[in-house]
Structure 1
Amino acid sequence: MPRLLSVVRLQLVNRQTYLWMPLIILGGAVALSILVFQLIPGTGIKYAGGAAAAPLWYFGIVGGQSLSLTFPFALALSVTRREFHLGTLLTATLASIMLAGIYCAIALIEMATDGWGVNGYVSTPGLGANELGIAFITYFTVSMTFFAIGYAFAAILKRWGGLVLTVVITLLILLLTGAIILLVRQGAWPAVAAWFGGLGYGGGSLLALAVVAMMWVGSYMLVRRLTP
């Protein structure tokens, strides 16, 4: 465990990446959303969840940097690849917990202020202060998912280079698009959409966490063979 904590400290040497950048992005998105709310006429409920999700997308970049920028230094400090991988996973978990907690705090503020005084909300519908437990799990899961994607792509890039990474991303997009087209043409899309909708945020998060766990296992298969 102390070795893993050493990796966490190494990852957090640059606190801007894990702390200040997400906070600045989130703060800017919330401030911009509140200004936009002021311009929207009417007294109905207004949502701007997309803008506030920017820090979650940013975690994909953080995941990539956690490997590409830190891995060589970790090996130079005699950290094993297994320790680096698990320590980075611990770092991602802690950072995702922090970000999920901040989103829940924003939901509480919105409830206390009736949507910043203008009935406007950056919280995702259904993930407000009345569902803090589900909201926390969901935001945590999304953060971990983007981090894992960035980390996996960085592992592919470092293992085989940019050409292979581009091919992998292209194939994934084609497979996903092809699967959607097939479902639509077979008339199965409504049933699939209903199944995912039935899972709800909680069930969907648990399913996504299972996928994230498999991604971390797959990434380790690459990391264990990486060279600085």
Structure 2
Amino acid sequence: MNRIMKVTKLHLNKISTFALVPPQIVGFVLIVSIIIALVIQRASDGAIDAAYVDGARSNSAIVWSLPGFLIYYGVQAVATSYPFALALGTTRRNFILGTMLANALQALYIAVMLVVLLGIELATGHWFMNAYVLDVYAVGSGNAWTLFATAFVGVMLCLTIGGFFGAVWVRFGAKGPTVVAIVLGLGLALTLLAVAPRLGEIFASITYSGLAVAAAIIVVLGLAGTWLAMRRASVR
């Protein structure tokens, strides 16, 4: 357990990236969303009606704002820390478990941050400007527990995917992630082709709990793939 915690602390040494970049990204999304909301309000003579609220709550910018950074962070967390960790005597198993714990802390941090911002948004009448950023359909329509669960699982998913591709890069070199991405993309395309006649039915049956289960399964598969890739990965 002590060695696992040492790996976690190794990842937390990058505290500026860990703690400062996510709120900067969210802050930028908040500012842009407020500006867009003001533009829409001015264009409609400031009318705040049910149609406006419905459209504003369809804003999914917060959902798409962090995945790019998180996947990158997951890649570099494995690719850059792995050689140093093994040089200090950490086993591959402990490295993966320590990285998973660091990912969980990152997910918890971001989830709590978003819930706090949701509380501020609701308390201020949507930033005093009827700007909907976190009180949106995509993350629970103002339900703090749904937002927390969505954020935690989503962050874990992105970090795990990034870590998997980082492990593939360490194991197979620069071409490894490209080949894996092509294979996964092809597999996804063939799957969609096979279920195409029932896509409407499938999308209609999607629920938050179903998405959470699917994300959890992908996280487990991603960790398993990371382990398999790193079992014979050399220290570069």
Q: What's the TM-score, normalizing by structure 1?
A: 0.90
Aligned to 1:61: 72
User: In the TM superposition, what is the alpha-carbon distance from 1:173 to its structure 2 partner?
Assistant: 1.6
Tell me how far apart the structure 1 counterparts of residues 227 and 128 of structure 2 sit (CA, whole Å). 48
State how 1:24-173 maps to structure 2 within 5 Å.
24-41=24-41, 42-43=47-48, 44-45=52-53, 46-47=56-57, 48-51=59-62, 53-123=64-134, 124-125=136-137, 127-128=139-140, 130-173=142-185
User: In the TM superposition, what is the alpha-carbon distance from 1:157 to its structure 2 partner?
Assistant: 1.2
Residues 139-160 of structure 1 deviation map (CA, whole Å, 9 limit, x = unaligned): 1111011111111111111111
User: In the TM superposition, what is the alpha-carbon distance from 1:182 to its structure 2 partner?
Assistant: 3.2
Contact 1:81 1:223 in 2 (8 A): yes
Give 3-state SS (helix, strand or coil) of 1:226's partner.
coil
> Could you list the runs of 4 or more consecutive aligned residues of structure 1 that deviate by over 6 angstroms after TM superposition?
none
Give 3-state SS (helix, strand or coil) of 2:66's partner.
helix
Number of residue pairs the alignment of both structures matches: 223
Matched, 1:193 2:200: no
Q: CA RMSD in A?
A: 1.8
Aligned to 1:12: 12
- Shift in CA distance, 56/99, structure 1 to aligned 2, threshold 3 Å: farther
Identity %: 28
Tell me how far apart the structure 2 counterparts of residues 59 and 176 of structure 1 sit (CA, whole Å). 22
Give 3-state SS (helix, strand or coil) of 1:40's partner.
helix
Structure 1: runs of 5 or more not aligned: none
Contact 1:107 1:128 in 2 (8 A): no
Tell me how far apart the structure 1 counterparts of residues 113 and 141 of structure 2 sit (CA, whole Å). 12
Contact 1:108 1:129 in 2 (8 A): no
